[in-house]
Structure 1
């Protein structure tokens, strides 16, 4: 979940995108190779390193080139210290101490940029005999919002498998300013064919070529092997500007450099063809906000017994007059940002997992105590309703998410009838593992076509590994054989924003920024899916008395 989180009050000069590759990593797995992942930390003004994001995990590779990049602000006037850590992923756990550490690099953003936007250094904390290296590239992000849709196919590719044909896939690389290349996309693998047709994919022009269509793209075609030692079939180079107005398909020779060097009569290892290329200009999130789109914010709070008795100091719902507990701090930090985009500032606020005064255990009750009106006025009203509920209900269980998700999805379905008019955001604050995971997955998949985003903030120190399954950044969430049509969930553990166990003003700001980082892209994905264009901004009117 790569995030874009300013860690300073300074005004950024621009944004940069950061890519990571490693070579000659340690092999920590007994029967296979390591499954590496890169984690980026940025030092804040308190000189504490905070996680900015993680790349994907690459199976069975000691020489990974990570496709997932990081985006962060560039502040000329500050020394922006970065820390890259590489791990061998051993399980689905989000906790890094559950995985094998492979090495780290400390550097500054300025160091990368002043070296032509690229540094290659040894990984620290690894055996000297291993000589593991990390390559980091950084480049200013072009503000262009274009989307590029491409479809590739191969023809007459080389046969690489002894008892079959080949299992080809493509890796697309963007050229950097210094002429080097970084991986930006990998296609699916197509088994046992020399004439594959890969699924079309859509990628932002910023990621693909930094919105510079005259830049060369390097297309590598590989034969997939289960042990990670993929065989290179060949390479071709493409400049989109030269072909965007041509008739398709357009063919490119797939050249294997080693074969070309060894064989005098070598021609090629097949062809790579572009069968479709579309470049579409896209509106920004702010275009929809300026055009009058409303953001409807709903709160769901966990009232299960695992939070601890509210009268005890170790409870996450600790209730002492004049003192904010962790739930209140998280709600306030995120809610105060969201409410600025809601004109009437009336927010539905619900609880789940509590036994109500009438003895009923509910997973969808209104915090304000009314039976038919969940709305609270402003975030302060939500906080007051929360305190009223803490004093009137019994913490119980289990931790069921699906009822509240389905509740908000019904409102989003109404908005969906008039796409572009409003967008729903559900903020769920919880302390533990979901009890109804099957039903929750189904609710999310069902809601993925609606104008809805779900933010889950983990309160406390429980193992939130299951939440990363819902936050499906790398592959679509599945339920009963169906896939979500888009990613609508963002999970953030609140504990990473605590400073010596306390919440500071700065960490509250950072929490809000990370929690809300994916909302603009999720809004745009919904609008694109439904072919919605923003309304023009209302004309400015000057009133004279």
Structure 2
């Protein structure tokens, strides 16, 4: 980010963050599409575009459904939904001439539809006519978009199916089977959940594993009916029905756990006509893995403690504490900015610390017994405010502020403003622990050890630790935006990137007129995500929740909040 843009970012007032976006899944289907192919039917796919900065930006694209004028797409679009924004969407349907990932410039346009995400969410299901260029109707073509809120989704499942001895539907070769999985809705309608790939010329196919959210699979209701249909693929779109079976996710889990996860694939017409008919093959659930998406509250309710540490700037730029203009001046009737920020954040954090004891550190001052006006000594950048290096903890928020008031006359405010020592000190405490640490740094100016601070933050990003920096006073804090990873990944002077974004910087003056609750909400908004990210990276589920008996593989690391869990395991967390 350029210096100019940094200054604009610093100058812009920081509003209290809105609630985090809800997640919405969109499913698409079309009816009565135009037929652009002379010998076969159209091969439709849908392109999703989002209006951003006065232009349409491609978001995603569905798969191609071959030779169909009434396609139901298995591809699910997942979007963030913001109540306070108008999110304009455009759906464009094309007769695809090649693979859907090769672009759409050479495809035939079958029609488009525009609406807002808010309209889809409000109605849950929107059916609109498709329009050609210049607003002309595309015949009777329509597109239906169905929305589901997955904000409360508690995980997803990975399924792997295979089949044995399927019916042979082809005259000169074997069947080309694929499987479709449907969810039965409350009104009896069926919603396509997933369509596998086609396995060519094989009566005992093994389909690739696939992942679906539990909300998508069964609306998070394990007893909801599911249907599996097996087809012999036809390049002209006239697929031959092989058979089907019904089950539930609950039944799948139980059968898989008992090594009995197989179902007869039945064709009802054959059953009626053939006296000795048994099945048209057998479908086997080869693997089932459930993944729990853990939340911040999962960890808190699982016993995770949050240890709060405050580090306060005692440099000379704060002014003489005896002067009413000093940022450290203690007014019995009006708390200074340091105290306001400390109370606002500390009172929230103390609810997650069972012993209510907080570490309180100072930096940038000469302290006793080293300090003497006639004997210059080294400045301390990580001293205990209670002057007890063996135990820097204080009882509650008031216990933090009390030694500040009594200690100010005993220290010589000096400088420079070095933050790296206190970051490193808290990092050393966090390294061997299983609790989470929040460091609140209160400073009246830009840190002077920026390179060392960046290095310390990058190292701390691997630890159970978050850093909140509040700038008090009227200094120019533009350069402090560098430490906040919102504008890009923070890197150490050696170029090593931070594993996680763990720093939140807020100038106090931007929220000075707001309530303490607003300040706390602003500076603590990112902490829940940071907690979940850390424990997910370390592959540590909340205490009391199980871990999966199968190896989740290296892809699990770094996916926030996701952890495989067994359908029956009660293994605790170390």
Give the TM-score normalised by structure 2.
0.48
Spell out, residue by residue over 1:442-491, the C-alpha distance to the aligned partner (whole angstroms, 9 max, x if none).
Answer: 11111211111111111123222222221113432111021111111111
1:440 pairs with 2:453: yes
Structure 2 counterpart of 1:384: 402
Structure 2 counterpart of 1:347: 358
Matches of 1:346 and 1:469, distance apart in 2: 31
Matches of 1:71 and 1:383, distance apart in 2: 42
1:532 pairs with 2:540: yes
Matches of 2:430 and 2:505, distance apart in 1: 20
Structure 2 counterpart of 1:370: 388
Summarize the alignment of residues 128-207 of structure 1 with structure 2, pairs less than 5 Å apart: 142-144=151-153, 146=155
**1:213 Cα deviation after fit:** 8.0
Summarize the alignment of residues 228-247 of structure 1 with structure 2, pairs less than 5 Å apart: none
**1:348 Cα deviation after fit:** 0.8
Aligned length: 314
Structure 1 counterpart of 2:324: 313
My pick for the range that moved more, 351-360 or 283-292, is 351-360
Summarize the alignment of residues 88-487 of structure 1 with structure 2, pairs less than 5 Å apart: 115-116=119-120, 142-144=151-153, 146=155, 280-357=291-368, 358-359=370-371, 360=377, 361-415=379-433, 421-479=434-492, 480-487=494-501
Q: Is the 8 A contact 1:349 1:382 kept in 2?
A: yes
Spell out, residue by residue over 1:197-241, the C-alpha distance to the aligned partner (whole angstroms, 9 max, x if none).
Answer: xxxxxxxx9xxx997589xxxxxxxxxxxxxxxxxxxxxxxxxxx
Matches of 1:279 and 1:409, distance apart in 2: 34
Matches of 1:331 and 1:372, distance apart in 2: 23
Q: Is the 8 A contact 1:15 1:140 kept in 2?
A: no
Matches of 2:512 and 2:216, distance apart in 1: 41
Matches of 2:154 and 2:478, distance apart in 1: 33
Matches of 2:509 and 2:350, distance apart in 1: 24
Q: Is the 8 A contact 1:303 1:396 kept in 2?
A: yes
Matches of 1:70 and 1:366, distance apart in 2: 44
Change (3 A) 1:23 1:370: closer
Structure 1 counterpart of 2:521: 513
Q: Is the 8 A contact 2:86 2:118 kept in 1?
A: no
Matches of 1:365 and 1:64, distance apart in 2: 52
Q: Is the 8 A contact 1:363 1:404 kept in 2?
A: yes
Gaps spanning 5+ residues in structure 1: where?
A: 25-61, 75-80, 85-111, 119-137, 150-204, 215-277, 416-420, 538-545
Matches of 2:436 and 2:478, distance apart in 1: 28
Matches of 1:319 and 1:441, distance apart in 2: 32
**1:302 Cα deviation after fit:** 0.8
Matches of 1:324 and 1:402, distance apart in 2: 28
Change (3 A) 1:83 1:309: farther
Structure 1 counterpart of 2:502: 488
Gaps spanning 5+ residues in structure 2: where?
A: 1-8, 25-48, 61-78, 88-115, 123-146, 159-211, 219-288, 372-376, 546-574
Matches of 1:514 and 1:210, distance apart in 2: 32
Spell out, residue by residue over 1:334-358, the C-alpha distance to the aligned partner (whole angstroms, 9 max, x if none).
Answer: 0001011000111110000112243
**1:309 Cα deviation after fit:** 2.2
